[in-house]
Amino acid sequence: MPSFASRVFFGTRARIVTLNLALALVVATLLAWTIYLLTTRVVEGEVQNTVQAELQGLAEQLQRDGYLGLVTAIRGRVAGADTDAVYLMTDAFGETIAGNLEAWPPTVRLDGSWQTLELYRVNARRPTLVGLRAFALPGGIRLMVGRDMRARAALAQSITRSLALVAGVAAVLTFLAGFLLSRQLMRRIATVTGTSEKIMAGDLAERVPLSGSDDEFDRLARSLNQMLDRIETLMTGMRTVTDSIAHDLKRPLTRLKSGLELSLREANRDGVASEVVTQALVDVDGVLKTLNALMDIARAESGLGHEHLERLDLGELALSLADIYAPLLEHKGVELTTSLEGSAYIRGHRELLTQAIVNVLENAARFAPSGSKIALSLARAQINGRSTVELRIVDGGPGIPAGERERVLERFVRLDGARGGDGSGLGLSLVAAVAKLHGAELRLEDNEPGLRVVLTFDRSEA
């Protein structure tokens, strides 16, 4: 299970919302910037025009009345009502002749081109932004005409502030919209997921609920439900088939067995030994055992035992079975050891697990040479946040060659060394089917020498 943090920050929903928010912020920022640039360009254009007009006026003065006229004009304007107008006229030594700027700034170009600079006005503590044009006049005289751009600055500030506010509101609204929308989305997805989980846990009757809005989710739900109907039909069919086999196929076998037993008892009563009948009974029992094993495998493979899973201690079950098999193994010169301490609770089908473990033990008992060991052990682990418990059954027998380990799990497969013995070839098939029913992993490994059977189950906490 991913941690809460990773789910909150990296889940699908978080990604949708974050993407949404990022896009909204980018768009808002672009828009704001564009508006800002256009506006300030317009304003600056206005300022330039004004300065141009001023210059023209001053140029006329200069023509009509010479420098004196120019100076008078400048002084007049400085004293006038238009406080945004900025002038400076200096002599060859840099001394101010007229104007309202503190000093001639060193970086000014004298080519009459438009420049914007931070300049100190007379008696000002802080510089202001000034847009100006400067000229070099004959006699070393320098003239600069410009406008205080504080309006522009003020405009820029106010625009920025408003746009920031708008962007902020837009971001919040987008976030909310994304949040609510994604919540809707996730809720619908969660419904589907929840239903699937219930079905996988064995409740075949569950169906995904429809919201009635006939949207994509409803269509998904409908198609899932159709699939589930099909599966339920198949499973019911499966159950019917195995129950039919139980009744129909076993009926003649029952009669056969009864008949043979009757015949045997009559023979015993009459003092007639009947090896043939005794052997026939043994064979019938063998057929029945194979039949039962096949049905168990079929049911386990199709998941039919799911309703009967209960919380059980795997260690206690294995220990009890080891207890039963220990004397037989000792009798054959094989030492059985167990390392099954502590509790190992899983959700399991008691009888199927019993049969599976028994099958492995019986195989081990059958093939383990005298002097070898068989060991059962439990190992608990945490893999990617999953709690697991592993049951290992290890023997020192001939083992299973690597190439055969897949095949040996199929029905009726018996390896060369085993042919002629009394196994049916179904033992490991059942183990595989039971593992599948429990959602457990089955591994057959080389114990060097011998076979190591490893079953890994999810641990049940509650």
Partner 1 sequence: MALPQSVAVSKRLLIVEDDEATASYLCKGLSEEGYAVERARTGREALFLATDGGFDLVVLDRMLPELDGLSVLKALRAANVATPVLILSALGTLDDRVIGLRAGGDDYLVKPFGFAELVARIDALLRRQPAIEAETTLGCADLEMDLLARKVARAGRVIELQPREFKLLEYLLRHKDRIVTRTMLLDGVWQHRFDPGTNVIDVHVSRLRQKIDHGFEPPLIHTVRGVGYRLSTVP
- The set of residues, in sequence order, having a beta carbon less than 8 Å from that of 168 and lying 6+ positions away, is none
Among 422, 448, 461, 462, binds partner 1 (CB under 8 A): 422
Instruction: Say if residues 407 and 413 touch (Cβ distance below 8 Å).
Output: yes
150 binds partner 1 (CB under 8 A): no
Closest distance of CB 261 from partner 1, Å? 5
> What's the angle, vertex CA 401, arms to CA 396 and CA 406, rounded to 5?
115
Q: Which of 311, 23, 397, 7 is nearest to 178 (CA)?
A: 23
Sign, Cα dihedral of 395, 399, 403, 404: negative
Burial class (CB in 10 A: 0-12, 13-18, 19+), 256: middle
Q: Does 75 bind partner 1 (CB under 8 A)?
A: no
Of 351, 406, 410, 446, which one interacts with partner 1 (CB under 8 A)? Answer: 351
**Cβ contact 319:336 at 8 Å:** no
Applying CB under 8 A, among 253, 280, 312, 415 the residue interacting with partner 1 is 253
Collapse the DSSP code of 317 into the 3-class scheme (helix H, G, I; strand E, B; otherwise coil) and give the result. Answer: helix
| 251 binding partner 1? (CB under 8 A) | yes
**Structure tokens of 380?**
């608990």
Residue 298 touching partner 1 (CB under 8 A): no
- Residue 407 near residue 444, CB atoms below 8 Å: no
The reply on whether position 280 binds partner 1 by CB under 8 A is no
Judged by CB under 8 A, the number of residues near partner 1 is 45
**Contact residue for partner 1 among 15, 219, 265, 443 (CB under 8 A):** 265
Q: Which of 65, 323, 410, 446 binds partner 1 (CB under 8 A)?
A: 323
Is residue 354 close enough to count as binding partner 1 by CB under 8 A?
yes
For partner 1, the binding residue among 305, 348, 396, 450 (CB under 8 A) is 305
422, 366 Cβ separation under 8 angstroms: no
Query: Tokens standing for 266?
Result: 């009559």
Q: Determine, following the binding rule CB under 8 A, whether residue 434 of this chain makes contact with partner 1.
A: no
Task: Figure out which of the listed residues 258, 339, 343, 387 binds partner 1, where binding follows CB under 8 A.
Answer: 258
What is the DSSP pairing of strand 141-148 with strand 310-313?
Answer: unpaired
Residues that bind partner 1 (CB under 8 A): 243, 246-247, 250-251, 253-255, 257-259, 261-262, 265, 268, 278, 284, 288-289, 292, 295-296, 299, 305, 307-308, 320-321, 323-325, 327-328, 331, 350-352, 354-355, 358, 362, 365-366, 422-423
